[in-house]
Amino acid sequence: MKDFSTLGVNPHWVKALKEQGIAVPTPVQEQSIPLLMDGKDVIAEAQTGTGKTLAFMLPILHKLRREELYPQALVIAPTRELALQITEEANKLAATTEGIRLLAVYGGQDVDKQMRKLEGGAQLIIGTPGRLLDHVRRGTLKLDRVKMLVLDEADQMLHMGFLEEVERLISELPYRRQTMLFSATMPPAIRNLARNYMLEPQDVKVKASSSIPVDHIRQIVVEVSDRNKQAALKEHIEKYRPYLAIIFCRTKRRAADLNEALQEAGYESAELHGDLSQNKREQVMKAFREAKLQLLVATDVAARGLDVEGVTHVFNYDMPLDAESYIHRIGRTGRAGGKGLAVTFASPRDRIGLQKIEQATGQSLNRTQYGQQGREAADEAPRRTSRPAAADGKDSRRPARGGNGPRGRGGQGRSAQGGERRESRGGQGRSAQSGGRGQGRSGGRRGR
């Protein structure tokens, strides 16, 4: 079995990884790192959770010139959460070596504070397209000496409409550079992006089924009309009484509307999507991680890379766009060898999508119709009706519905949102991210 030293990783980083409990590379790391250490451009198709952050971060840290305090490497991520997650992983390694400075740049932060930090200098910049482009236009971020570029979760940047911003950022980079593209799926637009801006890229592909096994996650499909979805969801929440559950919706508006309905019904819930301010998102995630919330209503983009211990259930309120997204969603439960339950609510128009999911997972999904009599055996699904003891020793158990009074508004769900419903609907996240619509495309790797 290979270890990181056989991949050409500096012994210092190998030691640092072992101290963090990481000794054996994952398949995407094993395949990507030697190519990246050799200076090759790489296109890696790998699902979230395969260890791709280390796959590109180790070669970057190895090549940074610590004596030079200017941006030498740029990592572009679609969401603030992912940018922060990458920064956290990079900091764990950078903290073991003097002279490495990195900076996260994303929407929702104070621009002036970011400007001051950029003036201080950093070799590695990690950020979201809109805010990065904003600093480029202000002249507070110079990318003309960047030698390494990473496009992480490229398919999500495409889905979010950031392709123009990404291309505008690439046009600011030197022609001679190393480009690394990581994506869970490879739609034609992403392939075109690679063709235009990469030089003889090497392909690395890790199958989703090997990265996120789903055999320990019980999966059922509830056939229901869209009109009855809300009632069906509430019935299944009452039936299974999840400890922590993530409910996936197709759009920000549907997530906001569903969360409001759940709170009205007395559930301890909160929404997570791109229209929330960064401070609000951090408050929601903190409450969910601490189990002060029972239900997290999220969009795919907001939950990308989300890893919370103790999630027992996933509810697909809306069908995912593709099989890869389905596997990513249900992989949020059953972590660390535990069991999980995934419930997907499907309308008649979702028939073809379900067939593709069954092909991708190699499983025939158990289907029931909403309103049918009969209940699945309780011992087949995880049920957690109690909470761990609170820090003060008091019992923190509660029923599935939370709160006081006739509509149960006493729970954390409402307070985690801070009553800022108008802000969450106002498109703050998009405005912080977009920045550069209307700018013409400029130069490519080949067509400059």
Tokens 């911003």 identify what position?
A: 165
Question: For 24-77, how does the pLDDT look when each residue is reduced to its tens digit (9 = 90+)?
Answer: 898 999 999 999 999 999 999 887 667 889 999 999 999 999 889 999 999 999
Residue 341, strand partner residues: 218, 313
CATH 3.40.50.300 corresponds to the domain 212-425: yes
pLDDT at residue 178, rounded to an integer: 97
Cα–Cα distance measured from residue 45 to residue 185, given in angstroms and rounded to the nearest whole number: 6
The answer to whether residue 138 scores a pLDDT higher than 70 is: yes
* Average pLDDT over every residue of 266-292: 87
* Average pLDDT over every residue of 330-341: 78
Instruction: Give the residue among 285, 354, 346, 341 at the shortest CA–CA distance from 317.
Output: 346
pLDDT at residue 412, rounded to an integer: 41
Quote the CATH superfamily of domain 4-208.
P-loop containing nucleotide triphosphate hydrolases (3.40.50.300)
Domain boundaries, the chain: 4-208, 212-425
Three-state secondary structure call for residue 254: helix
Alpha helices in 186-228 (DSSP H): 188-197, 208-211
Three-state secondary structure call for residue 57: helix
pLDDT at residue 213, rounded to an integer: 55
- Judge contact between 219 and 363, C-beta under 8 A: yes
Tokens describing residue 142: 């110079």
Q: Which of 112-121, 248-257, 435-444 has the highest mean pLDDT?
A: 248-257
DSSP secondary structure code for residue 361 in this structure: H
User: H/E element holding 158?
Assistant: helix 154-159
Q: What angle do CA 91, 175, 203 make, to 5 degrees?
A: 65
Cα–Cα distance measured from residue 28 to residue 114, given in angstroms and rounded to the nearest whole number: 33
- Residue 392 binned pLDDT confidence (cut-offs 50, 70, 90): very low
* Average pLDDT over every residue of 135-139: 94
- Residue 395 binned pLDDT confidence (cut-offs 50, 70, 90): very low
CB contact burial 200-228 (16+ within 10 A = b; e otherwise): ebbebebebeebbebeebbbbbbbbeeee
CB contact burial 77-94 (16+ within 10 A = b; e otherwise): bbbbbbbbbbbebbebbb
The region of weakest confidence among 278-292, 364-378, 397-411 is: 397-411
- Judge contact between 331 and 49, C-beta under 8 A: yes
Q: What angle do CA 260, 266, 271 make, to 5 degrees?
A: 35
pLDDT at residue 303, rounded to an integer: 62
pLDDT at residue 369, rounded to an integer: 86
pLDDT at residue 305, rounded to an integer: 60
Instruction: Give the residue among 208, 210, 237 at the shortest CA–CA distance from 222.
Output: 237
pLDDT at residue 386, rounded to an integer: 42
pLDDT at residue 276, rounded to an integer: 80
Question: For 340-351, how does the pLDDT look when each residue is reduced to its tens digit (9 = 90+)?
Answer: 899 999 988 888
- Judge contact between 300 and 320, C-beta under 8 A: yes
DSSP-assigned letters across all residues of 219-241 = EEEEE--GGGHHHHHHHHHHHH-
Three-state secondary structure call for residue 277: coil
The answer to whether domain 4-208 and domain 212-425 are alike in fold is yes
Mean pLDDT of the chain, nearest integer: 80
